[in-house]
Amino acid sequence: MAKNTMFQGEMQNQRNLSSLYLNREIAALEFDRRVLANAANHDIPLLERLRYLCIVSNNLDEFFEIRVAGLKEQIKLNVPGKSPDGWSSTETYHHVSTRAHEIVKTQYHLLNNNLLPELAQHGIHFLQSDEWTPSQQQWIAHYFSEEILPLLTPIGLDPAHPFPRLLNKSLNFAIALSGKDAFGRSSGIAIVQAPRLLPRYIQLPQNLTENPWDFIFLSTILHAWVHTLFPGMNVEGCYQFRVTRNSDLFVDEEEVKNLRLALQGELPQRHFGDAVRLEVADNCSNEMADFLLKQFELNEADLYRVNGPVNLARLQDIVDLINQPLLKFPPFVPGIPAPLAKFNDIFKAIRKNDILLHHPYQSFKPIIQFIETAATDPEVVAIKQTIYRTGLDSDLMEALILAARNGKEVTVVLELMARFDEEANLKWSTKLETVGAHVVYGVVGYKTHAKMAMVVRRENGVLNRYAHLGTGNYHSHTATRYTDFGLLTANQAICEDVNNVFIQLTGLGRQGNLNYLWQAPFTLHKRILEAIQRETSIARANRPAKIIAKMNALLDPEVISGLYEASQAGVKIDLIVRGMCALKPGVAGLSEHIQVRSIVGRFLEHSRIFYFYNDHREEVLLSSADWMERNFYRRIELAFPILDPKLKKRILREGLKYYFNDNHDAWEMDSSGTYRHRKKRGKPHHAQASLIELLKKENPATII
């Protein structure tokens, strides 16, 4: 008990915050370092390494658009206080800037010194202008005059032409000029914006090259012919640049009367928020860089000089374009669970037993079939579903529209504030309402992040419910790239809980008691803390106690505090945290019984699994929520138990055991927040590849 009292005193001592928590922004950048390490890993196929490089660029874009933008806003407003790790916003910003510059430097070093030379060895070239043959130069000149020049609008800066309003993350060129134009003007600087319609790289025709895949960057072409835009003047320099802006939407949900209309008005402004980062070509003159920084009201720390395209994310299309199977991960066809393959009637299969789906190793098609069948089944009377992210092209959403047309009662809780998916969700809301579906936008002040669907079917004169609960979005594309679990069940107690949550979201009323589900913002946080405390009490009674959790992020201070206390009591705690983790593992007297690892592989680890040993009773839950304050207090989230012992064993095996044995994609975290690749001791074990093979054998059916 003395040890616990000491711990509580330390937790209350604000001066020791930095010894208890790691910074979330640095933790996010550390995840990008792990992804970037895959771009340098020669055990990974070459084009997939290029994809990892592009993923880091995408991640950094969003990091600056949201997280760095938020830090800058706090600094600007002089917001008092510190984050749980003890850093102020200014301190965090300076640390973030240093780390981000290091990552970007490593990115371009990998691109220029490793990836591009290796791609060239496989016949994939990105040609510079001094490499063009006369016939290639002639073709490119024609392409410029016919396809590029008509779309360009050079803007010479003078009192009548101020610095243009540039779109977020658009490709632009700053041109240094000398001489006078036809009107005698000599501003010295012009801006050329590359229209979004233009491809960022162009493939040369096969008859002009000996290589199977020769490309030229749009920036290379424009550099070669930029002088044609300024006849009679001298081009002293041409520098590509890109500005990243604050893209976090602000809609005061408590003030607006119509959230959809307010969001429609706010979306166009997303592209013109305050600047937070400036990327320029590494050959950009200091004078031009200073000029651009001044225009965007940025400082030197916000400037990123790069040796290559300013937007590496655009190269991801190359990976999909090039048909070189040996340079990519081996393809596989996800299987269909045997219970579903045996029955033509999906409802009969679900009535017989709960069905667990493990994506992407098992197909997402059964989820689509669940809704498509309900849309046309004459016995189905109602369908209810939450939608957070689903994409612009969605068979599942089309099935809901068909169901409404067929006279079913269709209710969709559509989250309009799903970041960067707002526009897609707005379009689906219009389509659904047009056919008579009930569309609601959740609860003001809370994002509806829970993944649940319910079908009500009349069977032998009685209305029965069927439900799907998941850890991932109803998105067919991400279901092939993210690891997630989904449960199809006809358990009426669970289905009753699902129905009550839908009533809560669409109607008005007080929180009701649920049979099995843990729900944020009401009970999820409390139940998790209680489960941790229960293991702590069991350990103090000298009985075996264990906690295993798998999630995307672990940041909530109260949960971390509970885990520290459990560790001190002797609870063995194993955590798989893909991304941000503020907990410090392995600290003597604090967290020596806690291990943290991260899996960064072919698929994005996205499932959330919570396991509590519970005196041999082994409680297993799946959830839509990470252990973050926003998920506990500002979102509608669900955690649902796995009741079937066979399915519980599957989750322990497929979702946890395989990952703890992994010595291929696993990184282990130390108390400083530093990750190191797990050493390959003994037999090689690659969790994701092994699961592909395991579920291929157990689920041979591939057509549903």
Tokens of 281: 């070509």
Burial 184-199 (b: 16+ CB within 10 A, else e): ebeebbbbbbbeeeee
Cβ–Cβ under 8 Å, residues 588 and 483: no
What does the alpha-carbon distance between residue 490 and residue 502 come to, in Å, rounded to a whole number? 17
What's the Cα-to-Cα distance from 492 to each of 455, 465, 489, 639, rounded to whole Å? Answer: 12, 7, 8, 17
The SS3 of residue 223 is: helix
Longest dimension (CA), the chain: 89
Say which residues have a Cβ less than 8 Å from residue 279's Cβ, sequence separation at least 6: 241, 242, 243, 244, 304, 305, 306, 310, 311
What does the alpha-carbon distance between residue 391 and residue 111 come to, in Å, rounded to a whole number? 30
First to last CA, the chain: 58
Q: How far is CA 417 from the centre of its chain?
A: 15
What does the alpha-carbon distance between residue 70 and residue 68 come to, in Å, rounded to a whole number? 5
Q: Which of 125, 358, 359, 449 is catalytic?
A: 449
Indicate the pairing of strand 462-470 with strand 451-459: antiparallel
Q: Residue 595's CB: how many other CB atoms inside 10 A?
A: 16
User: Does residue 94 have an active-site annotation?
Assistant: no
Length reported for the chain: 704
Strands (E), 379-475: 380-387, 409-414, 438-440, 447-448, 451-459, 462-470
Task: Please choose, from the candidates 392, 397, 357, the residue with its C-alpha nearest in 3D space to the C-alpha of residue 375.
Answer: 397
What does the alpha-carbon distance between residue 219 and residue 238 come to, in Å, rounded to a whole number? 10
Tokens of 117: 């030379």
The residues carrying an active-site annotation are 449
